[in-house]
Structure formats: structure tokens, C-alpha cells
Amino acid sequence: MTHSEEESTALALLSQLSVSPFNQPQNTLSALKRLKHELIGHEQKKELFVRLGIVPPLVRILEGTGSADEVWSNARLEAGIAVGSLAYGGEKYISHLFDSRALPPLIASLDPSSSPSKLVLSSLRTLNTILDTSAFSATCPSYTIATALYTPEVLNSLYKILSQQSPTALVQQQISLTASLIAKSCGRYAPGSSDNSGCHSTHQKLLVEAGVLGALNARLGGHILAEKSIPKNPKNTHSGDIPLPAPPGAKLAPILDVISVIIKDSRLRSLEFLFSPSIIAIFPLPTNESSSPDPPSSSSNKPGEGTVGSTSSINLPQPKLASNSIIQPPNLLITPSAFPPLSAVSAISPTTPKDRVLRSAPLAATEGGSNRSEIDLEVEESPILPWLISQVRSGDPITRLMAISVLTNLFKVGLVSKKLVQLLILLVLPVLVRLLTEEGKENRVNAGVGSIDADTWVSWTIQEKAPAVLARLVMDSTEMQKAAVDAGAIKKLAAMLKRANELPSSAMNGHQNGNSHDSNHTGEPGSSLEVTHKMKVKEGGLKCLASLALFKDEYRKAIIDTGVVPVLVSSMKPLEPIPTPVPQPNTAGQGNPPAVLTAACGAIRALSRSVSILRTSLIDAGIALPLFALLRHDDIEVRIASTAAVCNLVLDFSPMRRPILEAGVLDVLCSHAKSENAALRLNALWALKHLVMEAETEVKRKCFEGLGVDWLLGVISGMEDSIGDLRRMGAGRTGDEEYFDAPEERARSWARRFPPKATAVMAQLEKREGDDSLRRRKEDIALQEQGLDFLRNWISGKDRNLMIDYLFESVGKDRVFEILEDKLKHKRYVKRGELISESPPGEIVNSVVYFLVHLATGSLPHKKALIQRVDLLRTLSALWNHRLPPVRSGLAWVVINLTWHEEHEDLEEVHIRAKELIRLGFDKSLEGMSQDSELDVRERVKTARHQLGTVGPTD
């Protein structure tokens, strides 16, 4: 067919669909079927039809304003399939769909009570495809989809889909695609949105409120019941809570995936998952004991009610140690040779009920609030955790990965006991590392975008998600990091990154093979899905390397030895060039989306903690100027990550400090320090703190002037309303109360499953996880700490006397000391008629002490000024038993520096200062510290007492 014939056919179809399609539904249906066959697998015809304007008629038909008979329902279905075929074509077609407002009818057709089942399935596939294809799109369709999905009406539709009981293949596909849709969209907020923060979890909260988590828990329970090792008629449960066994075609992995996403970083949602009615119906709680003198029922516990509280725990049943048990005892487990059993088998063996009890982290309002009551939630480990481990040991690869993801998120919120953590190290982590090398089929014929077979798609998913899960699992855990490195994670990650960094293969020809992905032969290098896949692999791999490189130099060196540094450099190349005062080197490779840039900055930050690597491999690779350019990136997350990475590059021993300074980093950091974004402010001030350390006097002056005296003092003084926020918490909430307070139905649900003590804790957890005042307070404390540390470094160095004078002249000597005194004072306020005394945060105390340590090294007028502040020194003397060892050591350093005799100084001046210190009780404080548990403190105290006794008065 010639081009003119193809265009004539297209125009004829377009005319048929545009002119009164609702009056002749049968003709419309026939035309749509022809259109579907024209579009599927034909890239050039897609371009032709889109150019001629096929999308608006399809959208009008999909909106369903015609009759409600079967013919018109089929017409809507065919229109949905045609829209889905265009979505498979990639971002350029997706933009046409969004411009023509195709999203609202797609979202509206998700309601299974008003839309045909096949149309619901088609819309779910299309929405998933858009999210897969445009994950890193500059037009941000994923944010638009997320905004449209997370409304009460749409969430109710998703709940209906997940709650369907039909065992048919079509319904099971709907359930799996709905779970995938939620997992992909949850947490996607538009850049600059108030919800675009790790401290916010609005989507997860909405999903719980809509009952989606409960429906997912029921789905998971059905999969548990489908296994032969689980009794299908458990006792002591409400029969209505027992889910139906999952049908043979049901998929477990998507359910685990979305549960993992919802419970992420929330102890409250994790507890709601572990103790949901569906899970408890399978693993019932005991009914013969209570942790409260006032049980929920006056007669006896109802079926399904448990006992959990601050003094006793839930005695969940032990898995049977039979041949078909959920998990075998440690001596029967097949353990990888690289991870032999621990020296004592009993170390990981569940021996007594007490051994299985875990205590969740206590709830504390503030760091310094030691006098506040802390409530612990003591629970016994749920048997669903061993069941999840069994899935890791025996499931298919994608199910293994998703089970590990759920376990990881439970581990991160402290709901996995220390004994089970050993099983995670021995059994789970090696499996996760092996999944890093899950082989894909991206090089086989007919495996291009649009004809990606199911096996390859699953393999891609594993390659994208496994590094990210491993990164979370090993973060902040030296044990996990060692196990991962011993299993060969670094080499595997480096190999993955090198493959992902290669240019995408030329567009692969392929044809529709019956799977859910259409073809997309673009004629350009690679395809949108292939490029997206490679970028996701790079993002996850870089994050994982950053997590592994957090603590140990030997791991950082192992990463460098793999030759992955060029990948790091190329991963800092943005999609569009960033204008900078200094010309940027022409980095090889394609541009990277913000998520990859952020991950690359995180990896550089971790690697640059090694002085030797910073001064050799990283400087040789030329990372300084590309990283400096990212400080000006449009995306706020990239600016935050690059500013954090710059912190280590501007230290006084870094060879990159000079070129970055010459490029103008000081002005950029001063600008970032005044940003409205709390994380960017903190990182910028942190970097400036390092920049002024041992810097030239002119650099220090310029930095001080760039920040401004008023701004700097405002940061150090802190937000005056932060304590007020905490006071209002005691008096009652003032905002979002209706949303965050538990509804009556959920409160009754908690009461059925928890005793009154635990129910109160759950309610408190819900309020605190939804309360921004504590987060703002924490951010404010961190910023105050960095502001004080900035001044400490600013007055240190050879020019310290000049800088102290400059500080006193700019701010005022008395005002400086007044601010410091205020930082060490207890804050007092009334809460519910009771006077509350709140001690200052330890981080602030530490920063104030070491500012005074450096101030005490100044000239004679500076020391005189300090020794005259009686109230400040008396408060300082009372810190001899502070909980932080650095504070106690700093107290000794203040005495050492004030009693140090300079060669040019009159000895009488030293005697006067020593006498004043003794009068203020420093001799007794040092005596109390002489038996300190920390060696460093004891050694500093010896020196301080020696000097105080040598130069002090003898009378």
C-alpha cells in the first residue's frame, strides 16, 4: 500500500469516527476494530493517525456518552485498546494523549461497577504502560496520573477491584495490574510539591484510609491459605476475616510489591499490616491472657482479640518444625557456603517465647525530652515473617524479590527481632545478591519495546528493583554490608552499571506476540522502555554502591578497583546542558534524568569520605566541575544531593577545593543556604562549614557577608514557634485534626486486635507520623547545629583572633554570649496544668561547647570576655554528667584552653581565670568526670585537672 493509499484509508477511518460516532454504534465498532489492527505493530501508521488527529475522537468515544448497550460497550473497549496501543508507542504519543485529555476517561473507566471488565483491564494496562514508559519524562505524566488516582472516588474503585472474589483469569489480571499501578504511582509527587518529601507519605495514608491495605492483606492471606503448610480452618478467628484461598492463576509478587510500598518507613502502617484481621485469622492471637487489668470485654476475649502491651507480648504460635513447615530449623537449613551458620546454632534458634519478643523503638517527642514519658510497644514476632522468608527461599525470582522488599521495610522500622535479623543475613541477603545477576533476554530477536516477552520484562523488573532493595537493607548496618560484600555484591553492581551505561541498542524490530506490550520501532538508538530500564538500573546500582561505601574504606577501595568511576562521571551528565560560569567538559554518554543524577551524587558523597580516594581516583576522574554544574540544576532533589556531595569536596585537604572555589561555589552555596527547602538549606550550610575551615581570611569574610549577620543569627537562634508547636501538641491539634485522628471504625478495629495500652500507642503513632511539627523541630535543630559549627570553624585557624574580633564587632559581644547562654537553658512551659522542663537537644549543647572551646583559644581580651560570663560558665560546669561523651570531653577542653599559659601572657592573668573556674565549681565537675566511662574523657580530664592545679591558687 502506497503512502497516499495509507493516508486515504486513515482519513476514511478518521471521518467515520469523527462524524456522529454515537448515532451508528455498529459502524463505529467496525471502524475501531479496523483502526486497532492498523495501529498495533505499525509505528509509521501510528505517526500518521496521530498527525491526522485520531486521538480526540478516541477520547470522546472512550468517555462513553453514547448508549449503554453491548455494542457501545464494545466500542469503548476497542477505543481503549487503540489508546493503549498509542501509549505503547512511547513518550511522544503519550504527550498527544495527555494534550487531548485522554487521562480522565481512562481513570473513570477503572470503576468495575460501571465499566465492562475488559475495559477496566485495558485501562489498567494503558496506565501501567504510561508509568513504565514515562518514568523519567520531562513532561511528568506520572505525576499527573498519581494526582488523578489518589482521590476518594478513584481509590474506592481500586478498592473494589482488589476486593473482587471471582477466580476468573480476567479478574486476577485486574487485581495484579491494580497492585502494580498503585506500586508505581504511590509517592510520585510533582517537583516542588509540598508532599514531595521523604517526611511526607500522603499517598500511603490515603490508601490505608480507603481500605486498600486491608484488601491487599486479604489477598496476601489468600495466597498463604493456598499453601498446603497452612491450616485452612484456623481456630479462634472470626470466620468473616478468613480470606478465600487464592486461585491458581493469582500472582503473589504484585501484592507483596504494593504492600511493601505502603508500609515503607512507617511503623504504624507496618503494624496495621502485621495485625490485620486477614493475617490474624490465619495466625490467631492467644485468648487466654491479657496485658491489661481492664480487658476490652467484661466477660472474655472475643475470637481474634490479642494481648499486646507494654508489659506482655503476643504469644504467636511457633511454626511446626516438620518436613512441610514454613521454615526449617537452622540445623536443617541449606545454607550457602559463603554464609556458614553462626558459631552457636542457638544464636539464631527460636528457643523460648521471650526470645521471639521484640521491642519497637520508643516514642519520644524530642531529643532532649528525657523527662517525658516514653511508651514502648512490645510485640512478639508475627509468624508471617518466617512465611515471607520461606517465599525468599522457594518462590520464583520476582516473588523472592518482593518478599525481601517487605522484610526489608519491616526491618527498617524495627519490627524484626535481632534473632531473625541473623536469619536475614544468612538466608535472605545472599538470595538478594544472587538476584542482581538475574539474566535478561534483551538481546534476543523480537525482544524490543512493544514485543518484550514476559520473561524479559520480569528480568528487567528484578534488575531495576533488586539494587534499590539491597541499598535499603544494608543502609546503616555494618553486618549487612559485610555480608553483601562477601557475597560479591560490589562486582555484580559494577558489572550492571557498566552494561546500563552503554548506549542503548539500535531499535529492535519486533512484532506483537500476545503480551501486554506493543511495538515501538522509533528508528532512534534504543527505545523509550529500554532507555528507561537502563536508567532505573543505574539509579538503583548507584544507590546501592553509596550504601555499601558508607563506613569502610576497604569497601570504597573495592568499588574503585572495579573501574566504575567513569560510570559515575557519565552519570552526572544531565539531559540538558546547565549554563555555568566555567565551561564544562564534554562528558561521554547520554544524558541522565534527575533520579540518576541524584543517585550519582550520593555515590560520590560516600566515596569521597575516603581521603585517599578523594585525592586520587576522584580528582583524576575530574568530578569537581560536573558536580558543581549540578548545583544549578532545575530539579530541587538534584540540587540537594549535589550540595551534599560538595560537602566533602571543599574540605581543607581536598585538592578540589580551589577549582570549585574559583568556579564560584561560594555564591551558589550562600544562595542555597537561604532556600525555602529545609534539606537544601541544611546541606548548603554544612558545605559552607567545611569551606571556611582553614580557609583564607578573605574567603571567610566573603562567606560571612554572603550569608548575612541577621540570617546567620536567625538560624542559630532557631524558630521561636518550634517549642510552641510542641506545646500545642499537648493542648490539642490545630490543623489536619480530622484527617489524622483515627476514625471511630479504625479505633474499634484496633480495640478488637490490641489491648487498651497498645491501642493508645497506635493512636499516638498515627498522630505523630502525621504531625509535621516534630519534623520541623528536628530540621530546625539540625540547622542550628550547623550554624553553630559554621561559626566554630569560622573563628578557628591562624586568623582566629581577627575572626573573633570581626564576629564581636559585627554581632556584638554581649549578644553572642546571650545567644549561647540561651542555647544551654532548659525550656519551660505548661502542659495540661503541669510545668514541663525540656532540656536542650544534645546536638546543640555539643556545638555550643565546642564553639566555646575554640573561643577560649583566642587572645587575652577574648578569654577575659568569656571568663566574665558567670551564668554561662556555671551552666557549662553543670554538664559534667551529660549523656554525650563529646560534651563532657569539651568541658575539659574549655578548662584546658582557659588555663593554658601563652609565652607572651602574664601568668597572673592565668591565675585569675583558674581561680574563677574553681569558684564556679569546675574543679568539682572535673573530679566527678575523673572516673568517666570514656577513655578520651578521662584523659582530657587529667590534663585539665593538672593545669587547673598548677596555675590555680594555692591558698
In this prediction, residue 469 carries a pLDDT of 96
Query: 3-class DSSP state for residue 21?
Result: coil
Q: Which grid coordinates are listed for 725?
A: 508547636
Q: What is the pLDDT of residue 370?
A: 38
- Cα separation, 735 vs 771, in Å, equals 9
Q: What is the pLDDT of residues 822-862, one digit of tens each?
A: 999 888 777 767 778 888 999 999 999 999 999 999 999 99
Task: Please report how the helices 860-867 and 813-824 are oriented relative to each other, as an axis angle in degrees rounded to 10.
Answer: 50
Position 889 in a domain: yes
Cβ count near 954 (within 10 Å)? 5
Residue 38: per-residue pLDDT: 83
**Owner of C-alpha cell 530540621:** 779
Which whole number is the average pLDDT over 643-670?
92
Type of residue found at 657: R
**Contact status, residue 785 vs residue 681, Cβ threshold 8 Å:** no
Residue 304: per-residue pLDDT = 35
6 domain-assigned: yes
Cα angle value 442/445/447 (rounded, 5°): 45
Task: Name, in order, each residue with C-beta under 8 angstroms of 611's C-beta and a sequence gap of 6 or more.
Answer: 653
- pLDDT for residue 349: 37
Q: Has residue 631 got a pLDDT over 90?
A: yes
Q: Whole domain around residue 56: which residue ranges?
A: 1-135
Q: Is residue 407 part of a domain?
A: no
Is 221 a member of any domain? no
Give CA–CA dist 608/186, Å, rounded.
33
Which residues, at least 6 apart from 344, have a Cβ–Cβ distance to it below 8 Å? none
For residue 712, give the nearest of 787, 800, 780 by alpha carbon: 787
- Flag whether 484 is in a domain: no
User: CB of 575 within 8 A of CB of 511?
Assistant: no
Q: Is 906 helix (H, G, I), strand (E, B) or coil?
A: coil
Q: Note the pLDDT tens digit of each residue in 359-376.
A: 444 443 333 333 343 445
Query: Which residue intervals of 795-901 are DSSP H helices?
Result: 800-811, 813-824, 842-855, 860-867, 870-877, 885-898
The C-alpha atoms of residue 580 and residue 582 are separated, in whole angstroms, by: 5
497: nearest Cα among 436, 586, 442: 436
User: 727 lies in a domain?
Assistant: no
- Per-residue model confidence as pLDDT tens digits over 864-876: 999 999 999 999 9
Cell of 345: 546454632
Final residue before a domain boundary, out of 79, 112, 135: 135
Using 50, 70 and 90 to split pLDDT, how confident is the model at 482? very high
Whole-number pLDDT of residue 716:
93
Number of domains in the chain: 2
Q: Which range, of 588-592, 605-609, 626-630, 891-895, averages the lowest pLDDT? A: 588-592
For residue 27, give the CATH number of its domain.
1.25.10.10
pLDDT for the residue 753: 61
In a domain, 477, yes or no: no
Q: Tell me what pLDDT residue 94 has.
A: 84
pTM (global) more than 0.85: no
Q: Return the C-alpha cell found at 184.
A: 508505581
H or E segment and range at residue 629: helix 624-630
Structural domain ending residue among the three candidates 109, 135, 161: 135
**DSSP 8-class letter at 375:** B
- Residue 183 phi/psi, 5-degree rounding, is -60, -40
Give whichever of 66-70, 95-99, 364-368, 519-523 has the largest mean pLDDT: 95-99
Q: Which among 116, 135, 154 is the end of a domain?
A: 135
Q: Shortest CA distance to 79 belongs to which of 9, 171, 13?
A: 13
Q: Are 370 and 441 in contact (CB under 8 A)?
A: no
Q: C-alpha angle 623/629/632, rounded to 5°?
A: 145
Q: Interhelix angle for 397-412 vs 253-263, to 10°?
A: 20
Q: How far apart are CA 650 and CA 203, in angstroms?
A: 38
Distance CA 369, CA 336 (A): 46
Span 780-792, pLDDT tens digits: 999 999 999 999 9
Report the C-alpha gap between 297 and 389 in whole angstroms. Answer: 36
| pLDDT of the residue at 577 | 82
Tell me what pLDDT residue 646 has.
95
Cell numbers given for 368:
532532649
Kindly provide the b/e burial profile for residues 456-489, where b requires at least 16 CB atoms within 10 angstroms of the residue's own CB.
bbbbbbbbbbbbbbbbbbbbebeebbbbbbebeb
Is 548 a residue whose pLDDT tops 90? Answer: yes
Residue 897 maps to a domain: yes
Number of H helices, E strands in the chain: 50, 4
SS3 sequence of 734-795: CCCHHHHCCCHHHHHHHHHHCCHHHHHHHHHHHHHHCCHHHHHHHHHHHHHHHHHHHHHHHC
**Do the Cβ atoms of 350 and 356 come closer than 8 Å?**
yes
Q: Could you tell me the sign of the dihedral formed by the alpha carbons of 920, 923, 927, 932, in that order?
A: positive
Q: What is the pLDDT of residue 731?
A: 40
Cα–Cα distance measured from residue 224 to residue 351, given in angstroms and rounded to the nearest whole number: 25
